[in-house]
Structure 1
Amino acid sequence: MSSVAAINVQSTNVRERVSPAEWQVRVKLAAAYRLAALFRWTDHIYTHFSARVPGPEEHFLINPFGLLFDEIQASNLVKVALDGSILDDPSGMGINPAGYTIHSAIHAARPDLHAVLHTHTRDGIAVSAQLRGLLPISQHAIAFSGRVAYHGYEGIALDLDERERLVEDLGDKSVMILRNHGLLTGGVSIEHAFQQLQSLERACNIQIAAQAAGNEQLLFPPAEVVAKVEQQARRHAEGTGPGVARHWDALIRQLERVDVEYKV
Structure 2
Amino acid sequence: MADGSVAGVASLKGKVSADEWQARVELAALYRLVALYGWDDLIYTHISARIPGPEHHFLINPYGMLFEEMTASSLVKIDLDGNILQETPYFINPAGFTIHSAIHAAREDARFVMHLHSDDGVAVAAQSSGLLPLSQHALIVLPRLAYHDYEGIALNHDERERLVGDIGDKTLMLLRNHGTLAVGDTAANCWVGMYYLERACTMQVKALSGGAEGVLIAPDASQAEVRSQVARGIGGALAWPGCLRKLDRDLPGYDA
What one-letter code is carried by the residue in structure 2 that aligns with 1:6?
A
The corresponding residue for 2:68 is 70
What SS class does the counterpart of residue 141 from structure 1 fall into? Answer: helix
CA distance in 1, matches of 2:42, 2:101: 22
The corresponding residue for 1:197 is 194
The corresponding residue for 1:41 is 39
The corresponding residue for 1:188 is 185
TM-align CA RMSD: 1.4
The corresponding residue for 2:255 is 263
Instruction: Work out whether 1:227 is the aligned partner of 2:244.
Output: no
What one-letter code is carried by the residue in structure 1 that aligns with 2:201?
C
What SS class does the counterpart of residue 131 from structure 1 fall into? Answer: coil
CA distance in 1, matches of 2:177, 2:249: 35
Greater shift after overlay, 76-85 or 141-150? Answer: 141-150
Relative to structure 1, the CA distance from residue 31 to residue 110 in structure 2 (aligned partners, 3 Å threshold; closer, same or farther) is: same
Instruction: Work out whether 1:207 is the aligned partner of 2:204.
Output: yes
What does residue range 115-154 of structure 1 map to in structure 2 within 5 Å?
Answer: 115-154=112-151
Q: Work out the percentage of aligned pairs sharing the same amino acid.
A: 53
Give CA-to-partner distance per residue, 1:129-155, whole Å, 9 cap, x none: 001100000000011223211000000
The corresponding residue for 2:168 is 171
How far did 1:260 drift?
1.8
Note if contact 1:79-1:89 (Cα within 8 Å) is conserved in structure 2: no
Relative to structure 1, the CA distance from residue 89 to residue 232 in structure 2 (aligned partners, 3 Å threshold; closer, same or farther) is: farther
Give CA-to-partner distance per residue, 1:139-179, whole Å, 9 cap, x none: 00011223211000000000110101100111111111000
Q: Name the TM-score, length of structure 2 as normaliser.
A: 0.96
What SS class does the counterpart of residue 40 from structure 2 fall into? Answer: coil
Give CA-to-partner distance per residue, 1:178-206, whole Å, 9 cap, x none: 00000000011111000000111000000
CA distance in 2, matches of 1:147, 1:172: 8
CA distance in 2, matches of 1:146, 1:246: 21
The corresponding residue for 1:240 is none
CA distance in 1, matches of 2:142, 2:224: 8
What one-letter code is carried by the residue in structure 1 that aligns with 2:198?
E
Relative to structure 1, the CA distance from residue 173 to residue 253 in structure 2 (aligned partners, 3 Å threshold; closer, same or farther) is: same
Of 21, 24, 27, 1:23 maps to 21
Note if contact 1:176-1:184 (Cα within 8 Å) is conserved in structure 2: yes
Count how many residue pairs are aligned between Structure 1 and Structure 2: 254
What SS class does the counterpart of residue 208 from structure 2 fall into? Answer: helix
Give CA-to-partner distance per residue, 1:81-110, whole Å, 9 cap, x none: 0111111243x2110000000000000001
Query: Which structure 1 residue ranges, 4+ long, deviate > 6 Å from structure 2?
Result: none
Q: Name the TM-score, length of structure 1 as normaliser.
A: 0.93
CA distance in 2, matches of 1:89, 1:44: 24
CA distance in 1, matches of 2:251, 2:202: 25
CA distance in 2, matches of 1:27, 1:5: 14
Bigger helix fraction? 1
CA distance in 2, matches of 1:147, 1:89: 38
What one-letter code is carried by the residue in structure 2 that aligns with 1:30?
A
What one-letter code is carried by the residue in structure 1 that aligns with 2:37?
F
Note if contact 1:27-1:74 (Cα within 8 Å) is conserved in structure 2: yes
Relative to structure 1, the CA distance from residue 168 to residue 88 in structure 2 (aligned partners, 3 Å threshold; closer, same or farther) is: same
How far did 1:16 drift?
2.6
The corresponding residue for 1:50 is 48
How far did 1:113 drift?
1.2
